[in-house]
Amino acid sequence: MKILANDGISKSGVISLEDAGFEVITTKVAQEQVANYINTNNINVLLVRSATKVRKDIIDNCPSLKIIGRGGVGMDNIDVEYAREKGIHVINTPAASSDSVAELVFAHLFSGVRFLHDSNRLMPLEGDINFESLKKAYAAGIELRGKTLGIIGFGKIGKSVARIALGLGMKVIASDKFIGKAEIRVDFYNNQFINVEITTEPIEDIFKHADFITLHVPAQEGYLIGKDQFEVMKDGVGIVNASRGGIIDEVALVDALDSGKVSFAGLDVFEDEPKPAVQVLMNPKISLTPHIGAATLEAQDRIGTELAEQIISILKTEQ
């Protein structure tokens, strides 16, 4: 059987699949040519990340497909239910990249509270002629320890964020439509650990009480945070979105940043990917990354291995 990993797969994943007798193709096929390539080469498994879209046209026109796999958590680039109605297995790797995304959240938080994103822009330009002025401009940083982190979406990634926050000495509050409480295990280097139980709260309480807010929810219709939500937040709140673009109203966000209501934002995802709005890209109060939450070597290795294990299990069972 043939597997097309159109958005790539880790070496460990390739090895696992090839050892099981599958042919793995890592050729990058343009979106408009995916269906034709699948049919010409009799592809049985299509693996994607976020770049390749698997809509009804591909599903309807590719009878050889048995599995569609998404390396990562969200599957909004796949018509999941439609594929399953057609008898195609749809799989993903919800746990493989949780720690990587969580660490990126804190990279943005640390950057925001210490102005690193702006300092790294201006120091190369003005550091030799404006050193003292820049030193003064960035002298009002704050610590994360002791502050309240509000986590919206308390799934695997939200829980990973909570672990880091608790380890830093932050107070953690969380909101989730489907999870009432969760026990967070915080591990330490010498095999010691503590368990902390967190009961989720209404999202309005997160808006009112959090010093920092981080979002970990799937793609959805409409904004989760807009003008009305910003108004009830604490003055000077910091916000990080490493989940899905379109959850935050970016126009309202820029207005809140300009007014000082929001002190900084960290964005890994955007409303208009892959061409984010210039007003967002140029704002000195926004820490920016190009949708790289899961893009660590460790996460890619885990994703490839987990996809391989699921594919082998499904196809070997059906043979």
Which residues are marked as active site?
244, 273, 291
What are the angstrom distances between the C-alpha of 253 and each of 4, 55, 153, 163, 210? 39, 31, 20, 27, 17
Q: Quote the tokens at residue 50.
A: 């976020």
Decide: 100 and 72 in contact? Cβ < 8 Å: no
CA 242 to chain centre: 4
Residue 31 DSSP one-character state:
G
Task: Give the up-direction half-sphere exposure of residue 256: CA atoms within 13 A in the CB hemisphere.
Answer: 27
3-state secondary structure of 263: strand
Say how far apart CA 97 and CA 75 lie, in whole Å.
Answer: 14
Q: 250-263: b or e for each residue (b if 16 or more CB lie within 10 Å)?
A: bebbbebbeeebbb
Residue with tokens 């704002």: 283
52 and 31 in contact (C-beta within 8 Å)? yes
Distance of CA 45 to the CA centre of its chain: 24
Which candidate, 100, 114, 103, places its Cα nearest to that of 167? Answer: 103
